[in-house]
Amino acid sequence: MKLLATLILFTSSVNAWENPFVLRGSAAGNDEEVLVEVEASCADGTNAGIQATRKLWRDNGSSCDNIWQLQQSANRMKSRNFPSNGGNWRTNAYNQCARSGVDTTVQGYERQCLNDNPQECLDLGETAAEIIVNNYGCTVGAGYRNNNYKKTCRQVAYGYCQGQIPIKTQMWCSKIVSASDLIRLQNKCQTQINSMTGGEDDAPEFAIN
């Protein structure tokens, strides 16, 4: 028995000396095993990112009114749940694919809300026009109730808002609004919409001269 134990110890020592740093999934191990593990980590990470984003969307009411803040909320969630570095290779692969899953899912929601159905953009433009006319001093009348989808939606809303300004002034204003005042109000549409959506001046050509 002692002889057998001595032989086992000797064999293990020789193997450890010849391959001192061989770990499961290391370069000196089985390359096929490493590839399978990386793919598994990536697939699991992607699914985790998708599920986390879907939960975030549900927690925010699953409403297209909140689509403008979704990417910002998702970025905070990525930093918290799936940091881009700091782990071992397996964790980093998992997190990298999870972050991609988050971004893909966010873009899917943006496409559904801002591209497939433009009503959000039209509502945005109409509401911006109402705020501008209301700030002008007119009251609400009776009976009123890229794949860069954000940029495209804003551009639709800019034009729609400008078209709504004359309509809202007729409905809400007790005085006749001059043509120069209408143009001045219409030129506020872009700034108003950007302030409502956290956007930038991405379409200066919408100013009316």
User: What residues does each domain of the chain span?
Assistant: 32-116, 119-206
What is the model's pLDDT at position 22? 33
Cβ-proximal residues to 197 (8 Å cutoff; 6+ apart), any chain: 68, 124, 150, 154
Helix (H, G, I), strand (E, B) or coil at 83: coil
Q: How far apart are CA 69 and CA 71, in angstroms?
A: 6
Helix spans in the chain (H) = 2-18, 31-59, 67-81, 89-111, 119-136, 149-172, 179-186, 189-197
What is the model's pLDDT at position 87? 80
Question: What are the structure tokens assigned to 21, written together?
Answer: 């740093």
Rounded (10°) angle between helices 89-111 and 31-59: 40
Distances (CA, A) of 154 to 3, 149, 168: 81, 8, 20
- pLDDT tens series, the chain, 209 aa: 433 333 333 333 333 333 333 333 444 445 555 555 666 789 999 999 999 999 999 999 999 999 999 999 999 999 999 998 878 888 999 999 999 999 999 999 999 999 888 888 989 999 999 999 989 888 765 444 457 899 889 999 999 999 999 999 999 998 888 989 999 999 999 999 999 998 765 544 555 65
Confirm whether pTM is higher than 0.75. no
What is the model's pLDDT at position 123? 92
